[in-house]
């Protein structure tokens, strides 16, 4: 697995000695090992030139850019080198066939809601009474099977998420979270959710890049213009496992408190030090490994995301029916 | 595979060139932690690439490169005496 670099300082990123080097405004330098780097996350104000972008593209390194406030702005997505026309044609066909599309979308949501259920079950076993939301989520999950259209699925998913979010205060043992608000998030938990979701989104994008899948054609979400909606689909499955578990632990261990946010902005903006804490934790989680049942070897959480892409590919080319990733441990 | 690489290069007439090139090659694959010491995680393939690139410059009778390999970073404890640094960190 390649390495991921996170840059917080302001400075200049450039190509030097056939390597990538970052030099901060204070003159500090760091080598980003070009041969092993896979992704670079930029949180500071960085200047760079096309010479660097060309080099990144040559090495297939993805650059994710976050703006001053820590919101995801976009990625430098190097020229696709893993392309397959055959797969693309079939991916579009799958999307276009409403029955098939519904089946895949259902599978994604079933996996996502199962993972949500598992999160609740975990905290239920640790002295928080979550029996009611658990039961509700289970019955809503069963209802997914009966849905006959994508919009119906989305509606049920919304209900699952609503029930899920309403139980968060029990997990935090504090009144921190009322309801999910986006654009802009209005309190600490909403801001954290938005931030971690954008991280997961970028990780999924990086993993899709390594496969032949086309990131713009999705099944659950509407494949709109201007965004990689397949990332949203796959991220749905991993949000509970990677993002939300991390939020619970960050808050319950007091690693992140309201002091880490800019209060004047209604807790909208994360302080730099907090972003760092979250990313370190996030990075650690992506590297965490589990023994894969089918593969019989240790795989990291990050690799699980890629495996999900491979499963989708297998379904698309008609080799094996897709079944979403469900936490099994 | 976790790797610690170090080298000694004889500084005669051609030494500077060898040293310069070796340094540039190594830092593309590994983290430079001390004067002539590097460390990092490499795949089998990347290690082969690194060795191949280095072999273009190494003079068999004068320069010596040592590579310590460990299957995983967890089988190795790293201890600092004196100044600690975090050059291997992925955060900057």
A17 in B contact zone (CB under 8 Å): yes
How far apart are alpha carbons A281 and A275 in whole angstroms?
10
Strands A37-42, A3-7: pairing kind: parallel
Q: Which residue among A6, A17, A280 sits closest to B24, beta carbon to beta carbon? A: A17
* Pick among A19, A36, A278, A286 to test the B interface (most B CBs inside 10 A): A36
Interface of A with B in 35-54 (CB under 8 A): 35-36
Q: What is the pLDDT of residue A225?
A: 60
Q: Which residue among A9, A33, A283 sits closest to B31, beta carbon to beta carbon? A: A33
HSE-CB for A139 with a 13 A CA cutoff? 6
Q: Which residue among A30, A33, A279 sits closest to B28, beta carbon to beta carbon? A: A33
A3, B41: Cβ pair inside 8 Å?
Answer: yes
A298 in B contact zone (CB under 8 Å): no
Asked if the structure places residue B41 within a domain, the reply is: yes
Q: Which residues contact A144 (CB under 8 A, 6 or more apart)?
A: A106, A109, A110, A113, A153, A156, A157
How far apart are alpha carbons A233 and A151 in whole angstroms?
14
B41, A34: Cβ pair inside 8 Å?
Answer: no
Asked if the structure places residue B51 within a domain, the reply is: yes
Is B8 a known ligand-binding residue? yes
How far apart are alpha carbons A233 and A239 in whole angstroms?
10
Asked if the structure places residue B82 within a domain, the reply is: no
A36, B42: Cβ pair inside 8 Å?
Answer: yes
Closest CA to A20 of B91, B51, B17, B27: B27
Asked if the structure places residue B16 within a domain, the reply is: yes
Asked if the structure places residue B21 within a domain, the reply is: yes
* pLDDT tens-place string over residues B18-63: 888 989 999 899 998 888 899 988 989 999 999 999 988 888 888 8
Q: What is the pLDDT of residue B59?
A: 87
Query: CA dihedral in degrees (A233, A40, B92, B81; nearest 10)?
Result: 100
Closest B-chain CA to A284: B90
- C-alpha Rg value of chain B to the nearest Å: 14
CATH code at position B37: 3.30.70.240
**What's the angle, vertex CA A214, arms to CA A211 and CA A220, rounded to 5?**
110
- In A, which residues are within 8 Å of B41 by CB distance? 3, 36
Asked if the structure places residue B7 within a domain, the reply is: yes
Q: H-helix or E-strand containing A300? A: strand A298-300
How far apart are alpha carbons A233 and A217 in whole angstroms?
10
Query: CA dihedral in degrees (A45, A49, A51, A52; nearest 10)?
Result: 10
A273 in B contact zone (CB under 8 Å): no
Closest B-chain CA to A277: B91
Asked if the structure places residue B14 within a domain, the reply is: yes
Q: Which residue among B29, B49, B92 sits closest to A8, beta carbon to beta carbon? A: B92
Nearest-Cα distance to chain B for A42, in Å, is 10
Superfamily of domain A85-317: CRISPR-associated endonuclease Cas1, C-terminal domain (1.20.120.920)
Enclosing domain of residue B23: 2-74
Q: What is the pLDDT of residue B38?
A: 92
Q: Which two tokens stand for residue A288?
A: 């965490």
- In B, which residues are within 8 Å of A33 by CB distance? 27-31, 40
A17, B31: Cβ pair inside 8 Å?
Answer: no
A279 in B contact zone (CB under 8 Å): yes
A256 in B contact zone (CB under 8 Å): no
Q: What ipTM does the predicted assembly reach? A: 0.84
Looking at A145-260, list the stretches that DSSP marks H as alpha helix, in order from N- to C-terminal side.
Answer: 150-166, 168-172, 188-209, 229-238, 245-252
Q: Domain locations in chain A?
A: 3-76, 85-317
**Rounded mean pLDDT for each run of 10 residues along chain A, 329 residues in total:** 85 88 87 88 89 89 85 82 81 83 86 87 81 82 81 84 84 74 78 87 87 83 74 87 88 81 72 84 87 86 89 85 81
A5, B90: Cβ pair inside 8 Å?
Answer: yes
A3-76: what fold?
Answer: Ribosomal Protein L15; Chain: K; domain 2 (3.100.10)
- In B, which residues are within 8 Å of A283 by CB distance? 90
Looking at the structure of chain B, the number of domains it has is 1
């Amino acid at each position: 697995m390649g390495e991921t670099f996170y840059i917080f300082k302001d400075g200049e990123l450039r190509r030097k000695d056939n390597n990538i080097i970052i030099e901060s405004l204070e003159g500090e330098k760091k080598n980003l090992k070009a041969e092993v780097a896979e992704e670079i996350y930029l949180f500071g104000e960085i200047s760079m030139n096309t010479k660097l972008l060309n080099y990144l593209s040559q090495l297939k390194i993805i650059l994710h850019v976050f703006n001053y406030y820590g919101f995801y702005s976009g990625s430098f997505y190097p020229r696709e080198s893993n392309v397959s026309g055959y797969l693309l044609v079939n991916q579009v066909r799958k999307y276009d066939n409403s029955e098939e599309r519904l089946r895949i979308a259902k599978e994604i949501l079933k996996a996502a809601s199962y993972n949500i259920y598992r999160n609740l079950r975990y905290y239920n076993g640790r002295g928080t009474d979550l029996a009611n939301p658990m039961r509700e989520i289970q019955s809503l999950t069963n209802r997914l099977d009966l849905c006959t259209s994508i919009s119906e699925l989305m509606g049920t998913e919304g209900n699952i998420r609503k029930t899920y979010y309403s139980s968060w205060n029990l997990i935090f043992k504090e009144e921190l979270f009322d309801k999910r608000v986006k654009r802009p998030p209005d309190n600490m938990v909403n801001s954290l959710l938005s931030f971690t979701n954008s991280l997961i989104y970028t990780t999924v994008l990086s993993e899709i890049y390594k496969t032949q899948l086309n990131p713009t054609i999705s099944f659950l979400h509407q494949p709109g213009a201007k965004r990689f909606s397949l990332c949203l689909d796959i991220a749905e499955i991993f949000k509970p496992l990677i993002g939300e578990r991390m939020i619970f632990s960050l808050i319950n261990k007091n690693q992140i408190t309201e002091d880490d946010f800019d209060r004047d902005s209604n807790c909208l903006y994360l302080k730099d030090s907090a972003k760092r804490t979250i990313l370190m934790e996030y990075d650690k989680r992506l590297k965490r490994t589990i023994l894969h049942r089918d593969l019989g070897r240790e795989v990291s959480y990050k690799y699980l995301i890629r495996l999900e892409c491979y499963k989708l590919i297998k379904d698309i080319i008609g080799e094996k029916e897709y079944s979403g990733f469900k936490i099994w441990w | 595979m976790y790797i610690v690489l170090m080298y000694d290069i004889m500084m005669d007439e051609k030494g500077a060139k060898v040293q310069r090139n070796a340094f540039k090659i190594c830092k593309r694959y590994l983290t430079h932690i001390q004067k002539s010491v590097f460390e990092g995680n490499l795949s089998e393939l990347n290690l082969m690439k690194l060795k191949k690139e280095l072999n273009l410059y190494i003079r068999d009778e004068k320069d010596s490169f040592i590579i310590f390999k460990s299957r995983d970073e967890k089988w190795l404890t790293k201890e600092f005496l004196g100044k600690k640094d975090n050059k291997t960190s992925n955060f900057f």
